[in-house]
Amino acid sequence: MQVLLCSDHLPLFLRIRWLKCKILTEIEYFYKKRRVIIVAFISKTTRMKIIGLVCLLLFALIGQEVMAQEIMTVRSSFVVVVGSFSVKDNATKFTKLAKKKGLNPQVELNNFKNLYYVVVLETEDRDAALAEAKRIRETGSFRDAWVFRGAVKDLAAADEHKDFHPVVVEPVKTLPVEESPKIETTLEPEIKKMTAADSAKIVSDRIKEKVDKQVMATKKGEIGRLDYIFFYKDAAVLRPESKFEVDKLVQIMKDNPKQEIRIHGHTNGNDPGKIIRRGPTSTDFFSLDNTIEDYGSAKTLSEQRAVEIRDYLINNGIDKKRMTTKAWGGKKPLYKVDDDKAEANVRVEIEIVK
């Protein structure tokens, strides 16, 4: 049987009618070509079966057409997301905050990542989606709002599902170039390309060098900030580069066995949200493996971060009785929550009590 093709420019009902006639013509041609006169002797029941099969084929083609149109619609849509959660109840709680901020949120499940996304806008206008995400970020409450193309339920790591971030790109300034005399040079040996591991090691070495030079508070009444303590986002879990400073704190406590401290925890802002913490059986203070997702206030997050520092000290031999914690949430910011330096509000301070 010949391959059947019909024009994409015809209306759907004409394409279906044309295709039906073409199929019946081809069936008759197939038998006559072999000089087998069967059509005349086909019973009415058999003819109905053939027509039924043809109808099934037509319905399948129509289904493919509808699915193709749906796919094109999905690919042309852009979605603005303000949060993602592994627990649905936490996503639902987060929508309450979004509503208070004047947004219209809804929770949608991403089947590929098994995460619940809080969606605040779905549009076919890419520029409108980027503009809205940028506006939301500038409010300070949802600094990680982002845009992606496609349906939330089908979002996967594929080329047709790309994230779009509302980044403002500054124009490149061109400077006049002055001509200079040509200088003969020799070819330098090829420089080895730096890997991610190489970059991480350079950063770690720099932090270690700065921590070694840092002078911590040791006198009663002094409050010192741990400048090189870093947490994962929305988590009471230390990042690996924080190990240098917490280890130094451990050593100071061991060198001063009568010293007692209070650990102060601070966050950037007071909005509630997702809180990731170590699981009850985990002893890995510097990894997101075996963690649990909760939902709580900024004060709770600051408390859990202070407790995480305390637990690390206990795990390294410091008596629990020598330490207390204090949670401030976002009550004592160094900068406004929407300031370029607002990240500095997320910090841990050590007060010498005794």
Percent of the chain exceeding pLDDT 90 equals 27
Strand stretches in the chain, DSSP E: 78-85, 106-110, 115-123, 146-149, 163-164, 223-225, 261-266, 273-278, 291-296, 323-329, 347-352
Residues 105, 234, single domain; the answer is no
Among the ranges given (67-76, 154-163, 229-238), the one the predictor scored with the smallest mean pLDDT: 154-163
User: What residues have CB less than 8 Å from 106, skipping those under 6 apart?
Assistant: 95, 118, 119
Give the residue, 157 or 51, on which the prediction is more confident: 51
Task: Return mean pLDDT, the chain.
Answer: 76
Are residue 38 and residue 85 in the same domain, yes or no?
Answer: no
Q: Report residue 302's pLDDT band, with 50, 70 and 90 as the boundaries.
A: very high
Please check whether residue 240 lies inside any domain of the structure.
Answer: yes
Number of domains in the chain: 3
Say whether both 232 and 257 belong to one domain: yes
pLDDT at 114: 83
For residue 150 the two structure tokens come to 């496609």
What's the confidence (pLDDT) of residue 149? 78
In a domain, 269, yes or no: yes
Residue 196 lies in a domain: no
Q: What is the pLDDT of residue 285?
A: 92
Domain that holds residue 246: 204-352
| Residue 102 and residue 53 share a domain | no
Has residue 185 been placed in a domain? no
Provide mean pLDDT across the span 169-176: 43
Q: Is residue 173 part of a domain?
A: no
8-state DSSP, 264: E
Answer whether residue 301 shows pLDDT above 90: yes
Is there a contact between 266 and 345 (Cβ–Cβ < 8 Å)? yes
pLDDT-derived band at 178 (thresholds 50, 70, 90) equals: very low
In this structure, the answer to whether residues 80 and 160 fall within a common structural domain is yes
**For 29-43, how does the pLDDT look when each residue is reduced to its tens digit (9 = 90+)?**
555 555 444 444 555
- CATH number of domain containing 129: 3.30.70.1070
Rounded distance between C-alpha atoms, residue 229 and residue 111, angstroms: 35
Give the model confidence (pLDDT) of 79-117 as tens digits: 888 888 888 899 888 888 889 888 998 898 888 778 888
Does residue 208 share a domain with residue 283? yes
pLDDT for the residue numbered 58: 63
Q: Which residue, of 37, 56, 74, is where some domain finishes?
A: 74
Residues 154 and 218 reside in one and the same domain: no
Whether 264 shows a pLDDT value over 60: the answer reads yes
Q: Which of 20, 48, 74 is the last residue of a domain?
A: 74
Query: Among residues 74, 96, 114, which one ends one of the domains?
Result: 74
Question: Of 124-128, 211-215, 278-282, where does mean pLDDT reach its minimum?
Answer: 211-215
Please give the Cα distance from 224 to 349 (Å, whole number). Answer: 6
Domain identity same for 17 and 62: yes
Position 329 in a domain: yes
Q: What is the mean pLDDT of residues 331-342?
A: 87
340 has pLDDT over 60:
yes
User: How many Å apart are CA 151 and CA 202, to the nearest integer?
Assistant: 40
State the CATH number of the domain containing residue 295. 3.30.1330.60
Q: Do the Cβ atoms of 98 and 85 come closer than 8 Å?
A: no
My answer on whether 55 and 86 are in the same domain is: no
296 pLDDT tier (thresholds 50, 70, 90): very high
- Confidence grade of residue 52 (pLDDT, cut at 50, 70, 90): low
Q: CB 13: neighbour CB atoms within 10 A?
A: 8
139 belongs to a structural domain: yes
Residue 280: pLDDT above 70?
yes
> pLDDT tens digit string along 304-333?
999 999 999 999 999 999 999 999 999 999
Instruction: Write out pLDDT tens, residues 5-21.
Output: 444 445 555 566 666 66
Look at residue 169 and tell me if it is in a domain.
no
Whether residues 17 and 88 fall in one domain = no
Please report, to the nearest 10 degrees, the dihedral formed by the alpha carbons of residues 244, 248, 249, 255 taken in order.
Answer: 160
Residue 352: its pLDDT value, please? 92
Cα separation of 76 and 74, whole Å?
5
247 and 340 assigned to the same domain:
yes
Are residues 322 and 209 part of one domain?
A: yes
pLDDT at 338 over 60: yes
pLDDT at 159 over 80: no
Phi first, then psi: what are they for 26, rounded to 5°? -65, -40
Q: Full-prediction pTM beyond 0.85? A: no
